[in-house]
Amino acid sequence: MFRHTPLRYGVLVLLAAAALFQAFTAEYFGLEILTEILILAMLVLALDMVAGFGGMVSLCHGALMGVGAYAYAMLTTKAGIAPPVAMAGSVAITGAAAWVIGAVCARSHGIYFIMATLAFGQMAYSWVFEAPVFGGDDGLGGIARLDLTMIGLDLTDSRSFALFCLFALGAAYGATVLILRSGLGRSLSGIMHNEQRMRALGLTVWRVKADVFGLSGMIAGLAGALAAQHIMFVSPGLLGWTVSGEALVVVILGGLGTLVGPLVGAAAFVVLKHELSAVTPYWHLVVGVILIAVVMSRANGIFGWVEARWGARIDRRVADATRKQQPGEVVSDA
């Protein structure tokens, strides 16, 4: 079950501080990288919700992000709908698509679940690639960003857009925590630990899985709507299975089932990608070696390793410090 430990809170605060520092001090290129990290972080957050807390390892989350991006692009450029409504619409459309995928795949497990979600993702990719209405392989351009000038935020400016993405990621993280702490989230955790028993207790397992998959899809859709606004262009590549694969790599690299870990993974992955690609075109090889090392080390990703090494010690110290600050104990000491 999801628990926020002092270490997790600490890392979250550090990540938020680093992102804010980067948002206020970086130049254009640095801001573009930050925005890329924030959007990827949102996608992997959505994936960790279902994979890390429900055992549903999805290979269609990239496609879901693509659905969100295309939905936003279509609603704004073709239907002429205002960006705020289009954004809400793209989130709802992606959530509905994800719910259907979740409902269909809920009865499969392990490799079969992975393959079924991959098939859904590839179907979406093929449709978008082939259908002229979506612009085919040329994609769709001229996508507008949200207009928040009424609150003094010009999102055409990279800094403002990065800050907006940071705010959206914070909201998505908060929503994910609330979902995992809700009855639905607790039941999802129960299903991951023992699906047969949850069913024997009277839970309609497929429905819980589909509902959480739909909610996760909404977050992926939000990431997609932001991705479309970020590059102001969408192409079928957004829905490719490699995007889903990359998201899974980031979740494993950061720490599956920790929520905080995938955020760390997203930052590490994007920074590594940019730093290594400046040195060698074979940067995927290096990332591959790192991923193999992480998996072989049996630690649960970068954050999992930190948590296993220092988590218990930090949590104990915080608990001791909290106890010492309790008024009753201060009086007795005196």
Partner 1 sequence: MLETRNLDKSFGAVHVTRNVLLKLERGERRVILGPNGAGKTTLFNLLVGELTPNSGSVHLAGEDVTALPVAKRARRGLSRSYQKNTLFDGLTVEENLGLAAAVHTGHATRLWSDSLAKPEVREIVAEVAEQVRLMPFLHAKVSEISYGVRRQLEVGVALATRPLVLLMDEPTSGVGPEMAKGFHDLLNGLPRDLTLLIIEHDMDLAFDVADTITVLNYGEVVFDGLPEEARGSKLLKDIYLGSWEDA
The yes or no reply on residue 189 touching partner 1 (CB under 8 A) is: yes
If one counts every other C-beta atom within 10 angstroms of the C-beta of residue 200, the result is 9
The yes or no reply on residue 4 touching partner 1 (CB under 8 A) is: no
**Contact (Cβ atoms closer than 8 angstroms) between residue 277 and residue 283:** yes
Contact region with partner 1 (CB under 8 A), list: 12-20, 156-164, 188-196, 296-304: 188-196
The yes or no reply on residue 179 touching partner 1 (CB under 8 A) is: yes
Is 148 strand, coil or helix? strand
Contact region with partner 1 (CB under 8 A), list: 99-107, 117-125, 190-198, 270-278: 190-198
- Burial status of residue 19 (CB atoms within 10 A of its CB: 0-12, 13-18, 19 or more): buried
Q: One symbol per residue from 206 to 235: x for binding partner 1 (CB under 8 A), - otherwise; what is it?
A: -xx--x---x--------------------
The yes or no reply on residue 182 touching partner 1 (CB under 8 A) is: yes
Q: One symbol per residue from 105 to 124: x for binding partner 1 (CB under 8 A), - otherwise; what is it?
A: --------------------
Contact region with partner 1 (CB under 8 A), list: 108-116, 195-203, 309-317, 318-326: 195-203
The yes or no reply on residue 181 touching partner 1 (CB under 8 A) is: yes
Q: Which of 51, 106, 198, 268 binds partner 1 (CB under 8 A)?
A: 198
**In the chain, where do the E strands start and end?**
140-141, 233-234
Q: Which of 54, 95, 121, 190 binds partner 1 (CB under 8 A)?
A: 190
If one counts every other C-beta atom within 10 angstroms of the C-beta of residue 291, the result is 16
CA dist 68 and 64 (Å) reads 6
Q: Which is nearer to partner 1, 48 or 211 (CB)?
A: 211
The yes or no reply on residue 205 touching partner 1 (CB under 8 A) is: yes
Amino acid type, 4: H
Q: How far is CA 89 from CA 3, 72, 86, 92, 304, in A?
A: 32, 7, 5, 5, 36
Contact region with partner 1 (CB under 8 A), list: 19-27, 204-212, 246-254, 269-277: 204-212
The yes or no reply on residue 3 touching partner 1 (CB under 8 A) is: no
Nearest alpha carbon to residue 56 among 122, 117, 125, 124: 117
Q: Which of 80, 142, 183, 328 binds partner 1 (CB under 8 A)?
A: 183
Sequence-separated (6 or more) residues with CB below 8 Å from residue 188 = 53, 54, 180, 208, 209, 212
Within 69-98, which residues bind partner 1 (CB under 8 A)? none
Q: Which is nearer to partner 1, 119 or 177 (CB)?
A: 177
Nearest alpha carbon to residue 243 among 6, 17, 9, 67: 67
Q: How far is the CB of 257 from partner 1 (least distance, A)?
A: 10
CA dist 199 and 193 (Å) reads 12
Cα R_g (the chain), whole angstroms: 21
Amino acid type, 96: A
Determine the size of the site formed for partner 1 (CB under 8 A).
26
Q: Which of 142, 152, 202, 327 binds partner 1 (CB under 8 A)?
A: 202
Is 71 strand, coil or helix? helix
Count Cβ neighbours within 10 Å for each residue of 228-264 and write b for 16 or more, e otherwise.
bbbbebbbbebbbbebbebbbbbbbbbbbbbbbbbbb
Q: How far is the CB of 262 from partner 1 (least distance, A)?
A: 19
Q: Which is nearer to partner 1, 78 or 193 (CB)?
A: 193
Q: How far is the CB of 205 from partner 1 (least distance, A)?
A: 7
Amino acid type, 141: G
Q: Which of 201, 292, 308, 312 binds partner 1 (CB under 8 A)?
A: 201
Residues that bind partner 1 (CB under 8 A): 1, 179, 181-184, 186-187, 189-190, 193-194, 196-205, 207-208, 211, 215
